[in-house]
Structure 1
Amino acid sequence: MGFIKTTTSMDLGDTPIENIFIDVYMPIANGTFVKVYLLGYKYACDTEINKSPNNITLAKNLNIPLSDVLEAWDFWESKKIIKKVSQCEENNWDYTVEFVSLKQLYIDNNYKSIQHLNQEDTESSSYSCSTKELIDANKVPEIKQMFIEINKIIARSLTPNEKMQILEWFHNYNIDPPLVIKAYSYCRHKKNVKNVKYVAGVIRNWYDLNITTVEDLDTHFSKQGERYGVYDRIFKAMGFAYREPSEIEMKIMDKWLDTYQFSIDIILKACENSSKTSNPNLNYIDSILGDWYKKGVKRVEDIEVMDNRKKDASPDPISKPQKQSKIKTKFHLSESRVSKYDPKELEDLLLNRNKNK
C-alpha cells in the first residue's frame, strides 16, 4: 500500500515564494538578480531526481551571461538569504545554492526592523535613534526642512517613529538630507509607494551602488536613462534645487520630451534663456519651447542661427538718422530779396526810407 500522485505532461506546478522576499528584498535588487533568485528557487523546489540544473543551465534558460548569475548569487549571499556550498575548488561557478527560510530568518532576528535585516553582523549593537536625538535633530535647519519636504511628498506628517528611522539611515548609510528627499520623491512618483520600509530598501540599494549624494544619483539616472533624472536636471537648471515636480509639471516636461522630441540640451538652453526674467517658471519655459517647436528647432545650433537672424534684421541703434531735406512749397521764395545786401547797406536803406516818410 502507498500513496501516489500523478503529474501532468507539462510543468504546470506552483513555486511558493515567501512574501518577505517580495515585500523586502525584491525592491532592493535589479531585475536580473530577481530573475536568478526566482528560477533558482524553482529548481530548489523541483523534486524530480532526473534533473540536476546548475548555474550554467540557469544562465542558458535566462539567456544571460554566466557572470551575471554568479554576481546575483554574490548579491543575495551578502543579504544572507542564500548560502553557497562549494562543490569544486577549481571551478568558481560550481557550487550548490542553499536558500534560507526568510520566515525563520525573521524569527531568529526577533522581529528586528527590516533595514536591520539587511545589515551585516557587527560586534557592536546596531545604532538606534533615541527620543532625545530626535528632538535635537529637529533643531537642525537642514533636518527640519527635510521633514517638511517629505511631509509634502507623502501628503501627511511623518510619525516620530518614521523620523527616528530616517535619522538612523544617516548613521547606517552615511547619506545627507537631500538624498532622503529624493528617495521619497522617487518612491512616490515612480513607484507610487509612501511606506518608510520601502524607502529604506531603495536607500539601501542606492548605498550598495555607492550612491550617497544627490550628485551620485544624478549620474546613475543619466546612465540608466531615467525620466525622473531628467526632471531633476531641468529643475536644477531653473534654480529649484530641493523642490520636487508636481504631476502637472511632469506632464509639461513630458510634452517637451515626447511631443516636441527635444533633447535635454535644448531644454536646458531654454532654462538658460529664462534667467533673463526676474521670476522664471515652467510656463515661461514652456512658451519658449513651444515657439521653438513651431519654428522647427531640432538642435541647439538651430537656436543660435535663429538668434543671429534676429540680430541682422534689427536696426542698428548706433547709426544716426539721415538729415531730412526741407520740402519746398509755393509759399517758399526761391531766393530772399535781401540776400544781396550786406548788413551796412541794409541799415542805410532803412534810414533813407524813414527820412522819406
Structure 2
Amino acid sequence: MFFKEVNEADLGETAIANIFIDIFMPMADGLYVKVYLLGYKNACDPSCSPKFNNNSIAKNLNIPLSDVISAWKFWENKNIIKIHKNDGSDDFDYSVEFLDLKKLYMENIIVNTKSIKSNTSSIVSVAENPSIRKMFNSINQIVGRHLDPGEKISILDIMNKYNMNPDMILCAYEHVRDKTGSSKPVKYIEGIIRNWYDANLYTPQDVEESFAVRSERYMLYKTIFNELGFSRQPSRSEKQLIDEWFDKFDMDIELILKACSKSKNISNPSVSYINGIIKSWNNKNIKNLEDLKKDEETQKNKVNINNKVSTNAANNNDTYKRTKFHNFNETFTQYTPEELDEIIEKSQREKFK
C-alpha cells in the first residue's frame, strides 16, 4: 500500500505523465531519467533562468557533460523530445522540446485500432503456428488475462522488427513479472526487447548470462568505489573505463584495488586518475599483484646496480687522487726531525761547494 502525506506548504510541484513512468522510465538508464526530469522541471517552471542549459544540468547532477548529451540523444531516439540547435558554433548549445506524451499515446491508440481491423485475419493465420500459439497462451497466464487483438499484433510486430523468436518475447514478459510483480503494456515489453537487441542478446540463455555478468560487474563497481571513498553510483563514462580494465586489459580486481589505494593521498581522487595508473601497468604487461611485485623488484635491482656503479666510480676516482701524493707523504714521514735537519744541511752545503 502506498499513500501520500498531506501538507499545506507549497514548495512547487512538477507533474510527470504516468506514461513516462510506466513505459519510458523502465527502459532507460537511471542517469538518463535524472537528466530528463531535471530538464522537464525547468521547462515547466516559468521562473527558471533562461541561462539554465546542459552545462547547468551536468554541474547540478555532478556528471560529465557528455553524459547529459548522451541522455538527450537517447530520449530523442525514443521520440519523446526534439532537439533544436541554437545559433552559434557550440555543438552542445541547443534547446530541448518536451513532446506531449498524452498526445503521442492517443495517436498510437488510433494507429493500433486501424491495424486491428486490417490485420485480424493475419492474427488468426499466424496463431496457427504452434510456437506462436503457445507463446500467446503463456503470456495470458503471466498477465492474468487474455491478450486483445491489438496487443497480439504489436507483439508480432516486435518479433518481426527485432527478429526475435517466441522464447525471447516470453522471456521478456517473465522478466517483467519477476522484476515488478505486475503486468506492463506491450510498449514496455518492446523497450526491453530493444535493449536486448542493442546488447546482442538473442536467446534466453544470452539474457541469463548477461544478468549474471551485470550482477557481478555491479558488485565490482561498488567495491572499487568503496575503495575510492565514493558513496555515489558510477556514471556511464566511469563504467566504460572500469569495464575496459576488466574486459580490455584483463586486470585482476586485487590489482585494481591496489591502484585505487594510491589515490588516498590525493585531494581529489577520480576514476580518470586511476585509469592513468592502470594504463601504465598495462603497458608493462602487469595484470595481477604478482606481476606488479616482480616489476617493483626489477626496478629496485636496477636502482641498486646504478648506485653500486656510482659508488665504485667515486672510489676509483678517490684512489687516483690519493695515489698522486701518497708516496711523497709516506717517504717524508719515515725520518725523525733531527734526521730531516741533517739532510737539509747536507743539501745546502753541496749547493755552495
**TM-score between both structures, scaled by the size of structure 2:** 0.51
> Does 1:221 pair with 2:211?
yes
Aligned to 1:143: 132
C-alpha distance in structure 2 between counterparts of 1:173 and 1:100, whole Å? 26
Structure 1 residues 104 and 159: CA distance shift in structure 2, 3 A: closer
Q: Deviations over 1:212-255 (max 9, x none)?
A: 4334423432332189xxxxxxxxxxxxxxxxxxxxxxxxxxxx
CA contact under 8 A between 2:83 and 2:97: conserved in structure 1? yes
Aligned to 2:44: 45
Aligned to 1:68: 67
Tell me the SS of whatever aligns to 2:95. strand
Q: Deviations over 1:234-293 (max 9, x none)?
A: xxxxxxxxxxxxxxxxxxxxxxxxxxxxxxxxxxxxxxxxxxxxxxxxxxxxxxxxxxxx
C-alpha distance in structure 2 between counterparts of 1:193 and 1:68, whole Å? 31
Which segments of 5 or more consecutive residues in structure 2 lack a partner in the other structure?
1-8, 218-353
C-alpha distance in structure 2 between counterparts of 1:150 and 1:84, whole Å? 38
> Does 1:81 pair with 2:80?
yes
Aligned to 2:178: 189
Structure 1 residues 129 and 166: CA distance shift in structure 2, 3 A: farther
Tell me the SS of whatever aligns to 1:47. coil
Aligned to 2:160: 171
CA contact under 8 A between 1:129 and 1:165: conserved in structure 2? no
C-alpha distance in structure 2 between counterparts of 1:174 and 1:127, whole Å? 21
C-alpha distance in structure 2 between counterparts of 1:138 and 1:49, whole Å? 54
Structure 1 residues 112 and 30: CA distance shift in structure 2, 3 A: farther
C-alpha distance in structure 1 between counterparts of 2:148 and 2:68, whole Å? 40
CA contact under 8 A between 1:129 and 1:168: conserved in structure 2? no
CA contact under 8 A between 1:173 and 1:212: conserved in structure 2? no
The size of the alignment, in residue pairs, is: 208
**1:253-292 map, 5 Å:** none
C-alpha distance in structure 2 between counterparts of 1:92 and 1:85, whole Å? 11
1:154 pairs, out of 114, 118, 143, with 143
C-alpha distance in structure 2 between counterparts of 1:166 and 1:40, whole Å? 33
> Does 1:134 pair with 2:133?
no
Aligned to 2:54: 55
Identity within the alignment, %: 46
CA contact under 8 A between 2:127 and 2:133: conserved in structure 1? yes
Tell me the SS of whatever aligns to 2:110. coil
Aligned to 1:334: none
Cα distance, 1:60 vs. partner? 1.6
CA contact under 8 A between 1:134 and 1:163: conserved in structure 2? yes
Structure 1 residues 176 and 36: CA distance shift in structure 2, 3 A: same
Which segments of 5 or more consecutive residues in structure 1 lack a partner in the other structure?
1-9, 115-124, 228-357
AA in 1 matched with 2:171: K
Aligned to 1:203: 193
C-alpha distance in structure 2 between counterparts of 1:171 and 1:218, whole Å? 22
Bigger share in helix? 2
CA contact under 8 A between 1:33 and 1:69: conserved in structure 2? yes
AA in 2 matched with 1:94: D
C-alpha distance in structure 2 between counterparts of 1:50 and 1:151, whole Å? 50
Structure 1 residues 149 and 172: CA distance shift in structure 2, 3 A: same
Cα distance, 1:12 vs. partner? 1.9
CA contact under 8 A between 2:162 and 2:194: conserved in structure 1? yes
Structure 1 residues 12 and 226: CA distance shift in structure 2, 3 A: farther
> Does 1:31 pair with 2:21?
no
C-alpha distance in structure 1 between counterparts of 2:109 and 2:137, whole Å? 33
Aligned to 1:101: 100
Structure 1 residues 52 and 126: CA distance shift in structure 2, 3 A: farther
CA contact under 8 A between 1:147 and 1:158: conserved in structure 2? yes
Cα distance, 1:79 vs. partner? 1.8
**What is the RMSD of the two structures over their aligned residues, measured on CA atoms?**
3.3
Aligned to 1:180: 169
